[in-house]
Amino acid sequence: MIEDVQQDVGQVRVRSVKPRDPVEVREHPDNWRCIGVGNTAAVFQPKDHPQKVVKVYADSHAHIASREAAIYEQLGDSPYFPRFFERGDNFLVIEYKPGTNLYDCLLQGIRIPEQVIQDVDEAIRYAQSRGLNPSDIHVKNVLVHNGRGYLVDVSEYGKAGTCKRWETLKKAYYDYYLDLYKPGLTVPSWLLETIRKWYKANEGEGDILGFAERIKRMFF
């Protein structure tokens, strides 16, 4: 498959405009479907290989491909992460994991069961047992499928230091989500983006609980 992918990747134009914002997809092959964008790359599903996805990095972030490939190889096979197949200079070929990320669950009013939180905790413990440091786990790289949780985007797992993102999300789940969720409740995108930008601007060190209480009073 690598030869076919290499040829099609040449038709992809992914651009990073602002480091803290998702990349922009300018062009891609007609037989590829864009299924997600992050701050460094976009993910495509080839119609003739639907069981796989191709993660193509913006030119300014192409160096991350080799780093993330090495992390996938260190992870090995796990039910909580996609399988890794191949890599090129600026792309990875990995297993397609069906599901809806937490961000879209909130937008669409899809219930997030507690089992998902437990699965992510188990995935983190597994990655740690493989000598990795799971980091940058947020609402767009946790997938929910059939009531279970999965992780995608492992590019930051090789970094040192302590990342508080998942612990902050987990606290918000238990302190707010479980009490506030009702069937059909949706959270508007402007509110999610406000939270995302506030959190990034404060690097997770601001008064997250005070901020959450203000959002709760304003919205609920």
- Calculate mean pLDDT across residues 37-57: 94
At 100 the pLDDT is 96
Would you tell me which CATH number, out of the four given (1.20.272, 1.10.3470, 1.10.510, 1.10.8), belongs to the domain 100-219? 1.10.510
Residue 43 · residue 82 · CB < 8 Å:
no
Are the C-beta atoms of residues 159 and 133 closer than 8 Å to each other?
yes
What is the pLDDT, as a whole number, of residue 207?
59
The residue extents of the domains of the chain are 2-95, 100-219
Rg (C-alpha) for the chain, rounded Å, is: 18
Place of tokens 């062009």: 27
15, containing H or E segment: strand 13-15
Grade residue 186 by pLDDT with cuts at 50, 70 and 90. Answer: confident
Respond yes or no: is residue 119 known to be catalytic: no
Query: What whole-number distance in Å separates Cα of residue 51 and Cα of residue 88?
Result: 19
**Cα separation values, 207 from 16, 162, 198, Å:** 30, 18, 10
Given pLDDT bands bounded at 50, 70 and 90, which one contains residue 14? Answer: very high
| Fold matches, 2-95 and 100-219 | no
> Which of these, 175, 167, 183, 184, lies nearest to 215 by C-alpha position?
175
193 band by pLDDT with thresholds 50, 70 and 90: confident
* Active-site residue identified among 136, 153, 175, 179: 136
- pLDDT at residue 217, as a whole number: 62
Q: Give the fold, CATH level 3, of 2-95.
A: Phosphorylase Kinase; domain 1 (3.30.200)
Q: Is the pTM of the predicted complex or chain greater than 0.75? A: yes
